Amino acid sequence: MSTPLDLQALKARQQAAWASGDYAVIGTTLQLVGERLAEACDLRWDEQVLDVAAGNGNATLAAARRGCRVTSTDYVPELLKRGEERARAEHLDVVFQTADVEALPFDSGAFDAVISTFGVMFAPDQAQAAKELARVCRSGGRIGLANWTPQGFIGQMFKTLGRHVPPPAGAQPPSRWGDEEQLHQLFGDAIGSIKVSRQHFNFRYRSPAHFIDVFRTWYGPVHKAFASLESAAAGALESDLTQLLIEHNGAGEGSLVVPSEYLEVVISRR
């Protein structure tokens, strides 16, 4: 008989991974995704907006720039500090609060819109995370998500990491949130309507080696994966990531431009 998955232990492990390195170095480059999501959700001035698993605040800033009253949350306080620095620099009034997406400390129906860019998809208990997003969003409000797809570059990168550092048995892949059918299963009757659009974000670096160096240094999951491997195994992971980057590179040998597919999702709350 298999041992049940310890979700709390997995969460602690993930939290340590995201707190390692400095995700903000990577996250800041993804600002365009937050702007697109804010427009897709048609955010309005004075609306109450919750950014969940906000990281260093891309969607937070996008919503605040549109006059929304934003609460920005993450379970990694260090990332919220980076978001706070960015909001202060733009003179944006945002509330920053440490919070776990699986147990949000807010009243039911408290927000007009609940948003997350490449954040909530990494919650260990996916069903509970979806339940909480739906709970704090008012009826008729919007849940806006940007989630990497299984077949896109980042989805493939996580599969590559998983071959070298296998996840715990029974853990659901984060890219499940990048599959429309799976979203219907996760949100169920909370969905009044759902609009899904496939988008691409272009990662731009000098070369595959440059990409790997940046992600190995600053991006928590990649940083932790390399740190857990002996020299030969780390070399094998680097080789596989290099091959993946070459296969997806649209810029030729002189540079690196890698389109990564993601699902832009707007759910109207029943």
> pLDDT > 70: what percent of the chain?
99
Q: pLDDT value at position 2?
A: 56
Architecture of domain 7-150+168-202+261-269: 3-Layer(aba) Sandwich (3.40)
pLDDT at 199 over 80: yes
Q: How far is CA 148 from the centre of its chain?
A: 8
The number of beta carbons lying within 10 Å of the beta carbon of residue 236 is 13
Euclidean distance between CA atoms 74 and 205, whole angstroms: 28
Phi then psi dihedrals of residue 73, to 5 deg:
-130, 150
**Residue that has been written with the tokens 């974000």 in this structure:** 201
The number of beta carbons lying within 10 Å of the beta carbon of residue 181 is 8
Please write the tens of the pLDDT for every residue from 207-237. 999 999 999 999 999 999 999 999 999 999 9
Domain edges within the chain: 7-150+168-202+261-269
pLDDT at 1 over 70: no
Q: pLDDT value at position 4?
A: 78
Closest to 149 measured CA to CA, from 203, 216, 199: 199
Please write the tens of the pLDDT for every residue from 63-108. 999 999 999 999 999 999 999 999 999 999 999 999 999 999 999 9
Instruction: Say whether pTM exceeds 0.75.
Output: yes
Give the mean pLDDT of the chain: 96
Q: Binning pLDDT at 50, 70 and 90, where does residue 41 land? A: very high
